[in-house]
């Protein structure tokens, strides 16, 4: 795929390409003449665009065999190639690589995961990702129509432009370039917790919801905000840091250096500490139904979580709040106190609209969110309205 | 102006119109041939688009008088009409109407205000707005190229589609339709405090900044969020309610029905109450430099404000935080304690990036924000990238 889609002319061109793809998605097979009328593009422009899409494997031309002899050439119709990949998502988690892909109709073609040692190098991780991608859709996936790769990584990602700007962390500095060299398309990168938020808002517990607050309760406490259907990054890539909102002003010192952060109360480690026995999370969850002490711990923790969530909800007014991460498996013992405190501290006018849900996506969330990142945020795709807003 | 710009085909057409306007803005006068090459539009499409823009007064054709006789017709060039209005903003405040307008080059043509009795009816307020608009730019403003009117109103505005959907409050129910009848273009409506936030992010203290948190300290405490350069509405139009985040869990009952809201601590009324004498705001501000009791009140209030702001900042990571409203005139006596508490409760990694500023726009903020609303949020204008992102 040519790299000339950067820059203003390239963006305009990609906008035209996306318009043609969208028309083929919504109308089905079309002749060149019909495409010209529907798109308003000139014959010359359209010829170029269709040629590029056909070269990339996104579009195929079919000429029907005439049932009877007619005058003139039969009219060629253009259709989308069913195996053309539109976007790939890769989640480089701590000890595993997860990949997923969608076709040009934005249907998930497949997803795939493989665990690896925590110290595996980036070259090897990218090799692994490439092999997993190659195996998707039984190896029939055509990459020529890819518009981009979304990538999730662990930890904060500074607010960098796509592609080749170095990241703050040296280990990650070469990753976008490495991927771009392998796949030849733009790379969008973000924190995988935030991508899980976007995934929940796209394919998961809050599918199709515009404004979503996602809180992940794991060994760390983090989250993400989806605003108007798109991932919110914030200045310097530091949004969604719900784990570092002060929950107990006189509380414990947090790893971030501040005192009393929500993470010092609501991380898995903090919950196990408060429970006091040498349990691990599975043992704690198993104890919940019959040990009132375990339920009391979650009651206190849930109250802190709900209070912090209420402050954020009053500020941003999400449609849906999603709780994910391993601790969310505690179920009602956690969700009830969270909801009680949330309602107590929400503006009364907002209380009837509060909508707290458990996350629906498992370990594929990061990779699915990375795909959503490409589909939602790529300027090429955002240029024209999505098909469902056009119907 | 025809109303057929609603619906998918109309949106596509308006997208083409905006593309042509943008090319004329960035390139200056162009011939039809040049426009065709730059836009990629077919001759037929372009002819229609230019005719509509010329009819509306947005575009004028000029044929240069040849200095010497040449063969063939001189080539007509197309330019933007300098007096063509692109958008109007109207702020229906409690006791005044403020209006402002920008031309197709997005320059503010002028703004105008007139006070009125608080009980003036909506028909009369709209009459007043119409007269103020007519007087802008010395009466030379041409409305034919208007792409929309932005409107600010007092109080919550539910999340309604533009134009003719009735609002929750009967008094406002007919306003969008009323304005649309007078001006013949789409109407976008929002809360005027949130519009002031958008104005600060567009023309004010945070001009050009993508993510802005705006807190307004007045007789009420409210605010707005600008996210990715656009106003954030939230579910049911209830975002930016910073005044109803719990600041003192055991605090006073708020007008909203909840206890200890920031508004019960940081509104002008609460500040005057805490000061204890029967002062009004000007007297309180005048006392500040020489009365330590007044400064102590603001120290306590500022600490509460900064703590609440820090929670919101950790969640959304704004580039800039703007403090506005009449109380912001207190200056350093307020800003210092706000900043101290903000820094204490921000994630340490975000502290060096905290950027607290005083609001820069006065009473025209709502009307200017309403214009920005039209320019930023209208789907017609968002379709193609803004000129500066194209350079």
Residues of B in contact with A42 (CB under 8 A): 36, 40-43
Residues of B in contact with A225 (CB under 8 A): 315-316
Across the interface, whether the CB atoms of B315 and A245 are under 8 A apart is answered yes
Strands laid side by side in the B85-92 sheet? B108-115, B96-103, B85-92, B148-153, B187-191
Residues of B in contact with A14 (CB under 8 A): none
Return the beta strands (E) in B17-84 as ranges: 30-31, 59-62, 77-80
Q: How far is CA B153 from CA A87, A370, B132, B171, B360, in A?
A: 43, 39, 17, 11, 20
Boundary of a domain, candidates A16, A49, A80? A80
Give per-residue pLDDT as tens, A248-274: 988 999 998 999 999 999 999 999 999
Identify whether residues A101 and A68 lie together within a single domain: no
Instruction: Provide mean pLDDT across the span A281-290.
Output: 93
CA distance B147 to A114: 52
Inside any domain, residue A219: yes
Cα angle vertex A28, ends A22, A34, to 5°? 80
Quote the tokens at residue B12. 């596509």
Are A155 and A191 spatial neighbours (Cβ–Cβ below 8 Å)? Answer: yes
Are A80 and A105 spatial neighbours (Cβ–Cβ below 8 Å)? Answer: yes
User: Which CATH number goes with the domain that contains B103?
Assistant: 3.30.420.40
The backbone region for B78, taken as left when phi is positive above 0, alpha when psi lies in -120 to 50, beta otherwise, is beta
Across the interface, whether the CB atoms of A236 and B307 are under 8 A apart is answered no
Across the interface, whether the CB atoms of B317 and A353 are under 8 A apart is answered no
pLDDT of residue B18: 76
Quote the tokens at residue B180. 């649309």
Residues of A in contact with B239 (CB under 8 A): 315-317
Identify whether residues A133 and A191 lie together within a single domain: yes
Inside any domain, residue B36: yes
Nearest to A41 among B40, B238, B318 (CB): B40
Boundary of a domain, candidates B63, B80, B97? B80
Nearest to A40 among B42, B239, B245 (CB): B42
Instruction: Provide mean pLDDT across the span B356-360.
Output: 95
Residue A389: pLDDT band (50, 70, 90) is very low
The 3-state DSSP class for residue B390 equals helix
The 3-state DSSP class for residue B202 equals helix
Q: How far is CA A249 from CA A254, A267, B164, B264, B315, in A?
A: 12, 17, 48, 20, 17
Q: How far apart are the first and last CA of chain B?
A: 31
Identify whether residues B61 and B115 lie together within a single domain: no
How many other β-carbons are positioned within 10 Å of the β-carbon of residue A163? 17
Inside any domain, residue B378: yes
CA distance B97 to B263: 26
CA distance B360 to B349: 28
Q: How many helices (H) and strands (E) does chain A have?
A: 16, 13
Identify whether residues B172 and B235 lie together within a single domain: no
Task: Report the interhelical angle of A7-27 vs A43-55 (nearest 10°).
Answer: 80
Across the interface, whether the CB atoms of B349 and A225 are under 8 A apart is answered no
Give per-residue pLDDT as tens, A300-354: 999 999 999 999 999 999 999 999 999 999 999 999 999 999 999 999 888 888 8
Identify whether residues B211 and B334 lie together within a single domain: yes
The 3-state DSSP class for residue A154 equals coil
Measure B221 CA to nearest chain A CA, in Å.
12
Are B247 and B265 spatial neighbours (Cβ–Cβ below 8 Å)? Answer: yes
Identify whether residues B302 and B256 lie together within a single domain: yes
The 3-state DSSP class for residue A70 equals coil
Across the interface, whether the CB atoms of B310 and A245 are under 8 A apart is answered yes
Residues 6+ apart with CB under 8 A from A278: none
The backbone region for A180, taken as left when phi is positive above 0, alpha when psi lies in -120 to 50, beta otherwise, is alpha
Inside any domain, residue A374: yes
Residues of A in contact with B310 (CB under 8 A): 245-246
Are B350 and A238 spatial neighbours (Cβ–Cβ below 8 Å)? Answer: yes
- The answer, yes or no, to whether residue B8 has pLDDT greater than 70, is no
Identify whether residues B336 and B209 lie together within a single domain: yes
Are B116 and B97 spatial neighbours (Cβ–Cβ below 8 Å)? Answer: yes
Q: Which of A97-101, A194-198, A300-304, B57-61 has the lowest mean pLDDT?
A: B57-61
Inside any domain, residue A113: yes
**What is the torsional sign of CA A138, A91, A225, A282?**
positive
Quote the tokens at residue A79. 């259709």
Q: Which of A219-223, A372-376, B36-40, B82-86 has the lowest mean pLDDT?
A: B82-86
Burial A190-211 (b: 16+ CB within 10 A, else e): bbbbbbbbbbbbbbbbbeebbb
Measure B233 CA to nearest chain A CA, in Å.
8
Residues of A in contact with B345 (CB under 8 A): 245-246, 258
The 3-state DSSP class for residue A238 equals coil
Inside any domain, residue B2: no
CA distance A212 to A317: 9
Quote the tokens at residue A11. 């963006």
Pick the residue from chain A with its C-alpha nearest to B215. Answer: A315
Instruction: Provide mean pLDDT across the span A292-304.
Output: 96
CA distance A41 to A45: 6
Q: How many helices (H) and strands (E) does chain B have?
A: 16, 13
**What is the torsional sign of CA B322, B323, B324, B329?**
negative
Number of domain units in chain A: 3
pLDDT of residue A181: 83
Give per-residue pLDDT as tens, A21-61: 878 877 878 999 999 998 889 999 999 989 988 887 788 88
Instruction: Provide mean pLDDT across the span B210-239.
Output: 88
Residues 6+ apart with CB under 8 A from A99: A88, A89, A90, A91, A111, A112, A113, A129, A132, A133, A136, A367
In this complex, how many residue pairs, one in chain A and one in chain B, have their CB atoms less than 8 Å apart?
170
Instruction: Provide mean pLDDT across the span B348-361.
Output: 90
Residue B289: pLDDT band (50, 70, 90) is very high
Across the interface, whether the CB atoms of A349 and B256 are under 8 A apart is answered yes
**pTM strictly above 0.80:** no
Boundary of a domain, candidates A56, A80, A104? A80
Residue A361: pLDDT band (50, 70, 90) is confident
Question: Phi and psi of A299, rounded to 5°?
Answer: -65, -45
How confident is the prediction for chain A on average, in pLDDT? Answer: 83
Tell which residue, B87, B164, B202, has the closest CA to residue B133.
B87
Pick the residue from chain A with its C-alpha nearest to B246. Answer: A345
Are A192 and A154 spatial neighbours (Cβ–Cβ below 8 Å)? Answer: yes
pLDDT of residue A198: 93
Measure A323 CA to nearest chain B CA, in Å.
15
Identify whether residues A386 and A267 lie together within a single domain: no
Identify whether residues A162 and A278 lie together within a single domain: no
User: Which CATH number goes with the domain that contains B27?
Assistant: 1.10.10.10
Nearest to B316 among A246, A314, A316 (CB): A316
Residue B10 burial by CB count (10 A; 0-12/13-18/19+): exposed, middle or buried? middle
Q: Find tokens 């023309």 and name the residue.
A: B203
Question: Phi and psi of B197, rounded to 5°?
Answer: -60, -45
Residues 6+ apart with CB under 8 A from B139: none
Question: Phi and psi of B16, rounded to 5°?
Answer: -65, -45
How many other β-carbons are positioned within 10 Å of the β-carbon of residue B55? 13
Pick the residue from chain A with its C-alpha nearest to B310. Answer: A245
Residue B383: pLDDT band (50, 70, 90) is very low
Across the interface, whether the CB atoms of A238 and B317 are under 8 A apart is answered yes
Residues of A in contact with B238 (CB under 8 A): 317, 347, 349-350, 353
pLDDT of residue A370: 93
Identify whether residues B221 and B177 lie together within a single domain: no
β-bridge mates for residue A226, sequence order: A212, A231
Inside any domain, residue A1: no
Are B266 and A375 spatial neighbours (Cβ–Cβ below 8 Å)? Answer: no
Pick the residue from chain A with its C-alpha nearest to B10. Answer: A390
Residues of A in contact with B315 (CB under 8 A): 225, 239-242, 245, 311-312, 315-316
Identify whether residues A66 and A97 lie together within a single domain: no
Nearest to A311 among B36, B239, B245 (CB): B245
CA distance A166 to A174: 7
Across the interface, whether the CB atoms of A315 and B319 are under 8 A apart is answered no
CA distance B125 to A58: 55
Inside any domain, residue B1: no
Are B316 and A232 spatial neighbours (Cβ–Cβ below 8 Å)? Answer: yes
Identify whether residues B311 and B248 lie together within a single domain: yes
Are A217 and A324 spatial neighbours (Cβ–Cβ below 8 Å)? Answer: yes
The boundaries of the domain holding residue A105 are 85-195+365-390
β-bridge mates for residue B324, sequence order: B216
């Amino acid at each position: 795929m040519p790299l000339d889609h950067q820059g203003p002319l390239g963006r305009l061109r990609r906008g035209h390409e996306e318009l043609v793809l969208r028309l083929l998605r919504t109308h089905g097979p079309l002749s060149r003449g019909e495409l010209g009328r529907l798109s308003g593009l000139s014959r010359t422009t359209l010829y170029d665009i269709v040629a590029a899409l056909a070269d990339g494997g996104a579009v195929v031309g079919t000429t029907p065999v005439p049932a009877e002899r007619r005058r003139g050439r039969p009219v060629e119709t253009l259709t989308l190639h069913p195996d053309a990949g539109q976007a790939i998502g890769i989640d480089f988690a701590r000890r595993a690589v997860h990949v997923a892909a969608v076709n040009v109709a934005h249907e998930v073609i497949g997803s795939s995961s493989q665990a690896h040692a925590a110290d595996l190098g980036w070259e090897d991780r990218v090799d692994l990702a490439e092999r997993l991608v190659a195996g998707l859709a039984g190896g029939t996936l055509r990459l020529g129509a890819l518009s981009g790769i979304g990538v999730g990584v662990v930890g904060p990602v500074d607010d960098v432009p796509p592609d080749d700007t170095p990241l703050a962390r040296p280990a990650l500095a070469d990753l976008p370039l490495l991927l771009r060299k392998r796949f030849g398309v733009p790379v969008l990168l973000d924190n995988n917790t935030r991508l899980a938020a976007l995934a929940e808002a796209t394919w998961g517990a809050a599918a199709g919801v515009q404004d979503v607050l996602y809180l992940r309760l794991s060994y760390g406490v983090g989250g993400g905000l989806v605003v108007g259907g798109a991932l919110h990054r914030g200045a310097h890539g530091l949004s969604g840091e719900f784990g570092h909102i002060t929950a107990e002003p006189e509380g414990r010192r947090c790893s971030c250096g501040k005192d009393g952060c929500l993470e010092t109360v609501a991380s898995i480690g903090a919950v196990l500490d408060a429970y006091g026995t040498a349990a691990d999370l599975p043992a704690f969850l198993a104890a919940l139904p019959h040990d009132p002490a375990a339920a009391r711990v979650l009651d206190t923790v849930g109250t802190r979580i709900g209070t912090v969530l209420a402050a954020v909800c009053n500020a941003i007014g999400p449609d849906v709040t999603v709780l994910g991460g391993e601790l969310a498996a505690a179920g009602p013992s956690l969700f009830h106190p969270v909801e009680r405190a949330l309602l107590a501290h929400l503006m009364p006018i907002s209380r009837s609209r509060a909508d707290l849900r458990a996350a629906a996506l498992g370990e594929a969330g990061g990779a699915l969110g990375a795909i959503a990142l490409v589909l939602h945020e790529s300027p090429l795709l955002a240029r024209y309205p999505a098909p469902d807003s056009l119907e």
